Amino acid sequence: MYKGYDFFYTIGSSHTAAGGLSPNTIYNEYLPCYQEIMAKDLLSLQEPMNSYSFSWSKRLSNIIGIPVVNEARGGASTTRSVRKTYEFVEKHIGEKFFVVFEVTEPESRTEIFLTENQEHCALNIGWKDKHVYAALEATPSDELTAPNNHGIFLEYFQRHIDVENLRDKNERDVLGLYSFLKNNNIPVKLMIVDPDFLGLNRKRFFDKNDIISLNQGHGHIHYWAHNLIVEEPNKGFLKNIDYTQERFGPIWYEIPGRSDDGHPGYFAHRKYAEELRVWLDNHLEPME
């Protein structure tokens, strides 16, 4: 038990789902470089392994000694995260848990419900001059694969949604969920990807102690990890890598030359969990 809580719940996008850190990447790309460093760490992780095994949430779970329920998905939106959090809380109201909620890109992702297969579909949206130019299906919000309806999605968004509208809706939805959780005495901590998310008129409704801010100056793991980079790539970058020392940053930085993936890396997820634990020690109120 940690501060009186039995478990915690988290949700978000690939940054919370440890996107890019599949077992294949870990064992075929990371381990050949960092075998001595990683061997003991990998043995401590429980089977079966998937990307969630290497996520900051699983690391935090191990550190504070309570389970985590992680419903993050690659390509997912704040729209999906709000919906899934409501669904989870409605099933678990009265239990002892807290929430770490990742607020994803407020203008480039959403989801819609497809009546033909009764499934929510995640969409990545492209904007040009505040108008939609692409509405591409990302990973489905849940388990089913949505049909290819790109033209239908594009027409729908061109007719009904603009960038300010979508951003405003996401802000109101997050505020509504935040208020719902607070009113039901469920602590929630926000990992916000966009520093400008929540305009000045709405920031006053949020307790600053509920907005994650770590030692690197940013609370969202994506920007936090990129702030860990200590040298920029150059011609000699790949020639002097010391793999007896851990490297912290995006995947491409931790295993240079073996990947170009910009998601937070293996060591970054672990370090983020360590710093988040310190932050929670100071900002998470004990369960009454």
* Sequence-ordered list of residues with C-beta below 8 angstroms from that of 187, at least 6 positions apart, any chain: 98, 99, 181, 210, 284, 285
The domains found in the chain, sorted by start residue, are 7-106+163-283 (3.40.50.1110)
Q: What are phi and psi of 11, to 5 degrees?
A: -155, 155
Angle between helix 78-92 and 163-183 (nearest 10): 20
* Residue 121 structure tokens: 């579909």
Whole-number pLDDT of residue 156: 75
Q: Are 108 and 126 in contact (CB under 8 A)?
A: yes
H-assigned helices in the chain: 23-25, 31-44, 56-64, 78-92, 150-160, 163-183, 200-203, 221-226, 251-254, 266-283
**What are the distances in angstroms from CA 184 to CA 96, 179, 205, 240, 282?**
12, 9, 16, 54, 22
The per-residue pLDDT for 218 is 82
Q: What is the pLDDT of residue 232?
A: 64
- Burial, 287: exposed, middle or buried (Cβ in 10 Å; 0-12, 13-18, 19+)? middle
Distances (CA, A) of 12 to 15, 49, 90, 149, 242: 7, 20, 18, 24, 33
Tell me the average confidence (pLDDT) per consecutive run of 10 residues in the chain, 288 residues long: 96 93 92 88 72 93 96 89 96 96 81 78 73 61 49 75 80 93 96 72 84 83 88 59 88 90 95 96 92
Classify 92 as helix, strand or coil: helix
* Confidence at residue 148, expressed as pLDDT on a 0 to 100 scale: 55
Using alpha carbons, select from 63, 112, 66, 103 the residue that is nearest to residue 85. Answer: 103
